[in-house]
Structure 1
Amino acid sequence: MEVRLQKALSQLGIASRREAEEMIRQSRVRVNGILAHLGQKVDLQKDAIAIDQQQISPQKRPSLVYLLLNKPARVVSTCADPQGRKTVLDLLPKELSVGLGIHPVGRLDFESTGALILTNDGDLTFGLTHPRHSISKTYRVVVEGHPSKAVINKWCQGVMLDGRKTLPAQVNLIESLAEKSCLEIVLKEGRNRQIRRVAEILGHPVIKLHRTAIGPIKLKKPKEPLLAEGQYRFLKDEEIRFLQKCIKQLPIKDSAEVRSGAKHEVV
């Protein structure tokens, strides 16, 4: 059965579909000895696929891995960086970072910290970055100044961003300090640098942004120690089931239209 090459690479646990597309653009992938192209279809039972001159065997598909990482600041949420900056894969041991196709699900920007899921389950990644997914994400955000009740209400109701209003959000004041405030923000969307841009529009630029939870998946679980910065843990069975249930509820289609709409989820 033929499938698109990027989907085949995600099924093999090599990379997410978006990462696979980038690998194809970079001329790193060959099919039957010939450089691959975007949109190409392959049959995993017949075609020989190689990445960076290394043959990929369908029989050697790695086991699925699901991780939660507490991302530090100044680390890139990608598998590789052309500028040579540290990536989230550099925080993993070699037995996880090499050969399993583990990649981040969505992104946190360079200066942001906190909860980030990594996996080699390409279908899960595709589902969780679908433009219509609605898993809530919780952030602790330190901003300049002291937002008034009116400003917080406006943030909660939605702010125009790139000609489109943001979805309603939960914004609560946690603490007021001398020249800054700490907010807890819960979003069900992840538009590009959304929190930072909205905070700027409302006159309270972000000083620090930290994601504490993705749905019920938290850096600090009851009766368990806080997951330290730069550390990771394997997701629990119930957390994996939660994520799988979320993507089953989505009308996911393997189409260029949906792929182009997938969210970067950079905040």
Structure 2
Amino acid sequence: MMASTPRHGLARVLSKQGVCSRSEAARWIQSGRVEVDGRVIRDPEFPIVQGRHRVVVDGSELGEARRIHLMLNKPRGLVTTTQDERGRDTVYRCFDGAGLPWLAPVGRLDKASEGLLLFSNDPAWAAHITDPDTGPDKTYHVQIDTLPDEALLAALVAGVDEEGERLRASRVSLLRSGERNAWLEIVLEEGRNRQIRRLLAAFGIDVLRLVRVGIGSLALGDLGKGQWRELGEAEVAALASAPCSSDR
């Protein structure tokens, strides 16, 4: 017996085609903006077979959006979200006037952090990048309020248990030091919420600056703060390839 063709909820299909987020798709559907085979559908979970049904949004037939993958040098002070309930500036301020389609952040950087942040309307690619088992390493330059010794660097790699999570760095090295503070290069295999700040805090160390400078083979380079650019095909493919860490 032949297997039946899988059906997916209408909101999920819209988001997978890269035209909007799943939550936004649900709002479109509930407000009566979406038709399937000539009938208005108001149930975001209405099952359809992608490619078999004619889906129309605001009178225009839905097609696959051009897949876009871009990098932003996130400035400090912006939150990584499409809308902030507290009215704070978001990373989307950097795209004002660019005429870009809907894009979602691929991973996050907290408000006080800066540097390399990816965006895309390609959900499968984004899921691969953010998956701890398949995604590339992330590299950070971190200014701390102390002068580290070799024992501290080793302890950061060994890691600590905090609130049921194991926090550790894959690699740590000293970049440079001054009289009272130093810069470390810290490489993570996976990005837990505020992982570097929490890891360092466990050793009584405060973070003065935190800049993500690389994701896999993709480097922030000389991209200006608040500036963005689209990734080339080779860069997109490289990020979607096997993990970069040699010890995974």
Please indicate the TM-score interval, normalised by the length of the shorter structure. Answer: 0.7 to 0.9
Deviation of 1:159 after TM superposition, in Å, equals 1.8
Matched, 1:230 2:231: no
Query: Number of residues paired by the alignment?
Result: 230
In structure 1, the residue matched to 2:84 is 81
Matched, 1:36 2:37: no
In structure 2, the residue matched to 1:9 is 14
SS of the equivalent of 1:197 reads helix
Letter in 2 for 1:36: D
SS of the equivalent of 1:110 reads coil
TM-score (norm 1): 0.76
Deviation of 1:167 after TM superposition, in Å, equals 4.7
Deviation of 1:55 after TM superposition, in Å, equals 5.5
Rg bigger for which structure?
2
2 CA distance for matches of 1:6 and 1:246? 30
Listed one character per residue, the Cα deviations across residues 30-80 of structure 1 (whole Å, up to 9, x for unaligned) are 35545435x553344436465xxx466323x32111111100011121222
Alignment of 1:202-217 (within 5 A): 202-217=203-218
In structure 2, the residue matched to 1:139 is 140
SS of the equivalent of 2:192 reads coil
Contact 1:160 1:166 in 2 (8 A): yes
SS of the equivalent of 2:240 reads helix
Instruction: Call closer, same or farther: CA 1:55–1:11 in 2, change over 3 Å.
Output: farther
TM-score (norm 2): 0.82
2 CA distance for matches of 1:81 and 1:227? 26
Contact 2:94 2:227 in 1 (8 A): yes
2 CA distance for matches of 1:138 and 1:3? 37
In structure 2, the residue matched to 1:57 is 61
Matched, 1:241 2:237: yes
Letter in 2 for 1:58: L
Deviation of 1:219 after TM superposition, in Å, equals 1.2
SS of the equivalent of 1:204 reads coil
Unaligned ranges ≥5, structure 2: 244-248
Contact 1:89 1:103 in 2 (8 A): no
SS of the equivalent of 1:245 reads coil
Contact 2:169 2:187 in 1 (8 A): no
Deviation of 1:153 after TM superposition, in Å, equals 0.5
CA RMSD of aligned residues (A): 2.4
SS of the equivalent of 1:94 reads coil
Contact 2:138 2:188 in 1 (8 A): yes
2 CA distance for matches of 1:10 and 1:152? 43
In structure 2, the residue matched to 1:177 is 178
Instruction: Call closer, same or farther: CA 1:6–1:172 in 2, change over 3 Å.
Output: farther
Deviation of 1:23 after TM superposition, in Å, equals 3.3
Which sits farther off after the overlay, 185-194 or 167-176?
167-176
Contact 1:10 1:121 in 2 (8 A): no
Instruction: Call closer, same or farther: CA 1:7–1:131 in 2, change over 3 Å.
Output: farther
Instruction: Call closer, same or farther: CA 1:5–1:130 in 2, change over 3 Å.
Output: farther
Contact 2:106 2:117 in 1 (8 A): yes
Deviation of 1:157 after TM superposition, in Å, equals 1.7
Deviation of 1:168 after TM superposition, in Å, equals 4.7
SS of the equivalent of 2:205 reads coil
Letter in 2 for 1:9: L
In structure 2, the residue matched to 1:71 is 74
Contact 2:217 2:239 in 1 (8 A): no
Contact 1:135 1:214 in 2 (8 A): yes
In structure 1, the residue matched to 2:53 is 46
Higher helix share: 1
SS of the equivalent of 1:116 reads strand
- The percent identity for this pair of structures is 31
Instruction: Call closer, same or farther: CA 1:28–1:212 in 2, change over 3 Å.
Output: same
Letter in 1 for 2:146: G
Deviation of 1:188 after TM superposition, in Å, equals 0.6
1 CA distance for matches of 2:43 and 2:164? 37
Contact 1:24 1:36 in 2 (8 A): no
